Amino acid sequence: MNNIVAIVGRPNVGKSTLFNRLVQRREAIVDSVSGVTRDRNYGKSEWNGKEFSVIDTGGYIKGSDDIFEGEIRRQVELAIDEADAIIFVVDVEEGVTPMDDEVAKLLRKVKKPVLLVINKVDNAMREKDAVEFYNLGLGEYYTISGMSGSGTGELLDKLVEVLPDMPETTEDTNPLPRFCVVGRPNAGKSSFINALIGEDRFVVTDIPGTTRDAIDTTYNRFGFEFNLVDTAGIRRKAKVKEDLEFYSVMRSVRAIEHSDVCLLVIDATRGFEGQDQSIFWLAEKNRKGVVILVNKWDLVEKDTMTTRDYERKIREQLQPFTDVPILFISVLTKQRLLKALETAVEIFENRKQRISTSKFNDVMLPIIEATPPPALKGKYVKIKYCMQLPTPTPQFVFFANLPQYVKDPYKRFIENKLREQYNFSGVPIDIYFRQK
């Protein structure tokens, strides 16, 4: 399980620049999600061997720069509720503003680590100006320049030092698959879970999730047995508006990181919107299995083409990861609910399948021979050997004489061929080209 770090502060202080620095520091870092309709707002980072998730509250504020404080206050309150540590960014050029004071007032009451970060400090003069931020009453501060990156090393050293230790989730104690039901508010997540569990609850145990709010329920009926990571039934804090986009993404982060397969419930009457896409990419970046459940299908006017059209539209928005099952369900009429579970179990199995190296070479090398990577600058790429890596999620490595010449279109071609040969439906896979 990863810690969650939230970056808060008023608009235009450089939250997103800092965010981009944190999530792209190293090769090993999962590239941050371009939330299709929003700015980048979620990424993973790692420093001194400690991994953590970073959430930038910046991309979520709608409207112009003169945003009413209420919106920022809500985001800060939410970050206080959900994150394990908070980075509060201020701007040395503008000094302490009334809104900074407001945010500081909320943060001073918090029992969690809060790091005050003064951005745009890129010379000695500004270093002196930073002193006035002691007035915010948050103690020690860190001066950085988001643009050049100076100062971020010390900040990260401190951050990983103050992050609480997350309990190790051991594989063996609970080998059951973990499914989480995610989606935006009012898509029907709670009803879906209630329909599955039914009144006669076949609940063996309620394991309090390490996430402090996602509760694991062991489900066993109709020949299925798995843990359901339920985030839907968690009471929302009254002060957080239901429709706050930031809210459902932040909640989903914990649930998704905590599971093997995500059942993404979307509302058929509203379509596959920006919010749904953000949650989908969260699951994809975390290398989790995904099945998309289009709920409330009974409410949609249909003709013979509807399902196919609807499905095609969703797949267009999923590119390039289109090998994802899409099921049309209705929680109300209980239509295809068991099919949804069957599919999730199948994806779980797909995700842990292992292909023997000799068989893998027998299948893939002839395909590569028939369609080798295009020559670049007169040089020919030869791929002689390939194998699956012993990683928890499917990763494949192809050994070549000139791996640097293999470009993305060819990687996609290989991935498509691999998916044609083996069933990795609903599972993101990684493909690497390495020096022989």
Has 12 been labeled as part of a binding site? yes
Has 2 been labeled as part of a binding site? no
Has 96 been labeled as part of a binding site? no
Point out which residues pair with 51 in neighbouring strands. Answer: 46
Interacting residues of 432 by C-beta distance below 8 A, sequence separation 6+:
395, 396, 397, 398
Has 63 been labeled as part of a binding site? no
Q: Considering only CA atoms, which of 390, 268, 373, 283 is closest in space to residue 329?
A: 268
Has 234 been labeled as part of a binding site? yes
Has 108 been labeled as part of a binding site? no
Has 47 been labeled as part of a binding site? no
Burial class (CB in 10 A: 0-12, 13-18, 19+), 205: exposed
Has 271 been labeled as part of a binding site? no
Q: Is the dihedral of CA 48, 108, 252, 309 positive or negative?
A: negative
Has 57 been labeled as part of a binding site? yes
Has 309 been labeled as part of a binding site? no
Has 100 been labeled as part of a binding site? no
Has 15 been labeled as part of a binding site? yes
Has 58 been labeled as part of a binding site? yes
Interacting residues of 391 by C-beta distance below 8 A, sequence separation 6+:
none
Has 185 been labeled as part of a binding site? yes
H or E stretch at 85: strand 85-91
Has 297 been labeled as part of a binding site? yes
Has 431 been labeled as part of a binding site? no
Distance CA 143, CA 421 (A): 53
Has 184 been labeled as part of a binding site? yes
Has 243 been labeled as part of a binding site? no
Has 28 been labeled as part of a binding site? no
CB 90 within 8 A of CB 116: yes
Has 122 been labeled as part of a binding site? yes
Question: Listing from the earlier edge strand, what are the strands of the sheet with 224-230?
Answer: 203-208, 215-221, 224-230, 178-182, 261-267, 289-295, 326-328
Has 16 been labeled as part of a binding site? yes
H or E stretch at 118: strand 114-119
Has 423 been labeled as part of a binding site? no
Torsion of CA 177, 183, 185, 189, to 10 degrees: -40
Has 260 been labeled as part of a binding site? no
Has 9 been labeled as part of a binding site? yes
Has 183 been labeled as part of a binding site? yes
Q: Considering only CA atoms, which of 370, 363, 368 is closest in space to residue 400?
A: 368
Has 230 been labeled as part of a binding site? yes
Interacting residues of 309 by C-beta distance below 8 A, sequence separation 6+:
none
Has 334 been labeled as part of a binding site? no
Point out which residues pair with 7 in neighbouring strands. Answer: 56, 87
Has 333 been labeled as part of a binding site? no
Q: Write out the binding residues for GTP.
A: 9-16, 56-60, 119-122, 183-190, 230-234, 295-298
Q: Write out the binding residues.
A: 9-16, 56-60, 119-122, 183-190, 230-234, 295-298
